[in-house]
Amino acid sequence: MNPVDIGRWQAALASYGNTFSCLAPGSRIGLVAEAALGDAGRAGSSMLIWYATNQGLRVETGSFPGFEQTDVDILMVADDPALACMNDSLATDVLATVRQLIRDGQILFFARKTRSVLDDAGYEDLLEQLGFAFMGACR
Amino acid sequence: MTRPGEQKLKHLFQPGKIGKFATRNKIKYGACCVSNYNTRDGFITDRELARTKVIAATGCGIITNQGAYPDPLGEGKSYFRQIALFDDKFLPQFETIAGYIHEAGGIAIQQILHAGRYGGIDLGYCVQPSVVPQTLPHFRPPREITKDQIRETVKQHAEAAKRAVRAGFDGTEVTSFMGYLLANFNSKFTNRRTDEYGGSIENRGRFMRELIDAIKQATPDNPLSVRLNGAELMDRWGGNTEDECLELMQQAVNCGVDMISVTVGWQEAPDSSIGRDIPPGHWNYLAARAKKLFPNTLIAFGNKLPDPPMADDCIAKGEFDFWEVCRPLLADPELVHKAADDRLHEVRRCVGSLNCLSRLFRDLPYTCTMNPALGHEVEPEYQVTKAAVKKEIMVIGAGPAGMECAITAAKRGHSVTVYEKSDRIGGALVHYANNDLARPEDLMSVVRHYEVMAKKHGVQVKLNTEANAKFMRSVLHKYDVAIVASGAGVDREALRGVPGAERVVDPMDVASGKVKAGKRIVVIGGGKIGLTLSESLKRQGAEVTVVEREKRIGGDLTPAFKWRHSQWIETLKIPTYTSSRVGEITAQGVKVLDDKGKETFIEADTVIATSPRKANQDVLHEFEWMIDELHVCGDAVAPRGLDQAIAEGYRLGCRI
């Protein structure tokens, strides 16, 4: 993943206070570039992390340790055009852009915990906002 | 003697062959759905046996029994009440099922289903070739399957196959449908291994080849069918392309598999494969491609191919050998017999509501919108039996609940008259169907079915006749029973507190064309009626806004249609105000208040209230002292929808 402007991401996500306020402290959502997924999630790629704390949502970067080792609850994988698209919408409505990109298949959305565990951790509204209804089963 | 429909559909009804077994026709009952009727530890129940007896009698040349998981740990188990075949202790019920199928003249195939990525439902984890996390959080976190486990899994499949044959089954089937273990190995999406089971397509297909070899060795005299994706619909996420799917089929053919059942999609595929928005025949090309490449291997196919004439035509053109059908037979187990008797107009069609799948993913037994007896075959209360006493029955309302009840009661020997205030049968469903964005003809098939069956069973339908108290007094001496199936409507009482509420329009008046809506419309209520109407009006060129009290729209929709409506609402750019209520309605528009008190004014020339709704029960109270037996069913009990209307109408018809 190319270097990201943490400050802009922080400001963008702060505008969705209600959506993230339900998240249990310690909840983590990761965003990596598609290229990081070669060979089952190659370790060492950069990952943007949305991290719920008692003080609110904090955006930070870290290393993507691969599918097996990563401890984020939700992992989003975006191709380069999708990353560019998100970057462009940081000043407007980035979650709406993410939702559209998920629906278009440009962001692949992995849940590393079961639905009930995610709901208990306060993810219900966020999943809805990200377009969970569009994903799989009963098709 | 050849039945009349068999002559018309002669390709479908010609005898076939699989392995050494002759089949009476070219129809295969597909194991496309796990019933969830069984015990939590994998034993087949009486409920399942009763259901299987119905399946055996469908008239299909080949009957595939639903998938059984082959491992004692349950890593292959995908559904809470899925059947198991990892031990001889399960065999007695399998023997019974094989017996049912043979008694009915079918060839019995047992499917072995290791769900892989979708398995381990009781375990808290699943196994798959590589650790690729779930895209659907319904399923369990993955663990990578080791080489020792692969060998053990192959062995378990072979032992399960042997067991099935010992139980009397003629052959077996392994399945990749829809994203199960076999598919996980075949697909680039889930197979990222670097050993001999991953990487190249040759390596990815190794597990499948070992599986086929092991089962063929274990059961050399019995045919083996393999269900393989013609399209995964996962290719944009790095899964296999259609060409790669064909290459994998080639590997299966080279291993000497007797039949390839071509399927479409994974559970988590981002695109629709079998819903009402996919036109019949859409995927036939996948089977045709396979048949062209593998002319000497049997090809079975049936995804979104509901009609016998279309299947007959495909077989005639050499696009596949066996029509594989499941969901249409859930809706109407008599489908094949009706086709053979040239009574296709009597078929109760699958309407693609996907109630069956939606329930499975809520860990519930599957049911069918169109077949209220499905899953209840073991219960006498759901059997259509001759009535002990013939009664004169009046049914008020010719919607699905009323018609279902009327026809069921008539089948039992009662004399039934339906009174309907409008000029046709179908009730609200007609208008709902005409505004449906998916396939209106599917829902209209319900209405046509009732028209045909009412005529067949001698139900009298009196249209343009409103059953009020005065009318009732004039006819009550004629009837023993009255059924109130008068549906539901807008609850105007509940809107009385809203200034200007008298301006709201009834959605059915708009849907039916009785009232012409303007160009700027506010729809109160974001449930299925509100969304369907909004989508339709928007497509007709109006500016539409939806106001919904709840946090989200589509609260009364099944999961299968929630995402569709969400997508349509977004695609059509229909603004939605959720957690909001209407504060005032004026000639200029609507004042909307959200849950924080924020006020928004939406200009509108028409305001349609689809919510709240209430049951139309006025006549119920008026009739209470007028007739011996009085019943109520469908939305007239409480506003819900088609599933409950049909189910309640049927149950009441069986009971009277």
Q: For B554-572, what is each residue's pLDDT tens digit? A: 999 887 788 889 889 989 9
Res A40: pLDDT: 44
Res B318: pLDDT: 98
Quick one: average pLDDT of B270-291? 91
Res A129: pLDDT: 83
Strand partners of residue B489: B614
- HSE, CB side, 13 Å, CA atoms: give it for residue B421: 11
The residue type found at B58 is T
Closest residue of chain A to B234, computed from CA coordinates? A105
Quick one: average pLDDT of B541-566? 91
Of the listed ranges A80-84, B363-367, B501-505, the one predicted with least confidence:
B363-367
Of the candidates B259, B298, B264, B307, the residue with the CA atom closest to the CA atom of residue B283: B264
Of the candidates A76, A14, A81, A79, the residue with the CA atom closest to the CA atom of residue A47: A76
B583: burial class by Cβ within 10 Å (0-12, 13-18, 19+)?
A: middle
Which residue in this structure is represented by tokens 């670097």? B194
pTM: 0.93
For A115, the closest of B137, B357, B562 (CB atoms) is B137
Give the contacts of B287 (CB within 8 A, at least 6 positions apart). B230, B262, B299, B301, B314, B319, B320
Kindly tell me if the per-residue pLDDT of A112 is higher than 50: yes
Quick one: average pLDDT of B164-189? 96
Kindly tell me if the per-residue pLDDT of B373 is higher than 80: yes
Q: Does the structural domain B385-487+616-655 have CATH classification 3.40.50.2000?
A: no
Instruction: Report all structural domains of chain A as residue ranges with CATH numbers, in order of start.
Output: 6-131 (3.30.1050)
- Residue A38 confidence class, pLDDT cut points 50, 70, 90: low
CATH 3.50.50.60, chain B: domain bounds: 490-614
Quick one: average pLDDT of B229-234? 95
The residue type found at A116 is S
Chain B interface with A: residues with Cβ < 8 Å: 130-141, 144, 192, 194, 236-238, 265-275, 354, 357-358, 361, 552, 554, 558-560, 562-563, 566-567, 570
3-state secondary structure of B379: coil
CATH 3.40.50.720, chain B: domain bounds: 385-487+616-655
Output the 3-class SS for B438-481: CCHHHHHHHHHHHHHHHHHCCCEEECCCCCCHHHHHHHHHHCCE
Of the candidates B479, B19, B57, B83, the residue with the CA atom closest to the CA atom of residue B222: B19
Q: Does the structural domain B4-360 have CATH classification 3.20.20.70?
A: yes
Closest residue of chain A to B189, computed from CA coordinates? A40
pLDDT in tens, B96-147: 999 999 999 999 999 999 999 999 999 999 999 999 999 988 899 999 999 9
3-state secondary structure of A59: strand
DSSP letters, B474-519, are HHGGG-SEEEE---EEE-HHHHTTSTTGGG-B-HHHHHTTSS---S
- Residue B277 confidence class, pLDDT cut points 50, 70, 90: confident
Angstrom distances, CA of residue B79 to CA of B31, B66, B116, B359: 14, 12, 12, 11
Q: Which residues of B touch A134 (CB under 8 A)?
A: 270, 563, 566-567
CATH code reported for the domain at B490-614: 3.50.50.60
* Percent of chain B surpassing pLDDT 90: 87
Quick one: average pLDDT of B468-488? 92
The residue type found at B377 is E
Of the candidates A113, A109, A1, the residue with the CA atom closest to the CA atom of residue A47: A1
Element (DSSP H or E) covering residue B581: strand B580-585
Kindly tell me if the per-residue pLDDT of B251 is higher than 70: yes
3-state secondary structure of B333: coil
CATH 3.20.20.70, chain B: domain bounds: 4-360
pLDDT in tens, B47-76: 999 999 999 999 999 999 999 999 999 999
- Residue A42 confidence class, pLDDT cut points 50, 70, 90: low
Q: A–B: how many Cβ contacts below 8 A?
A: 95
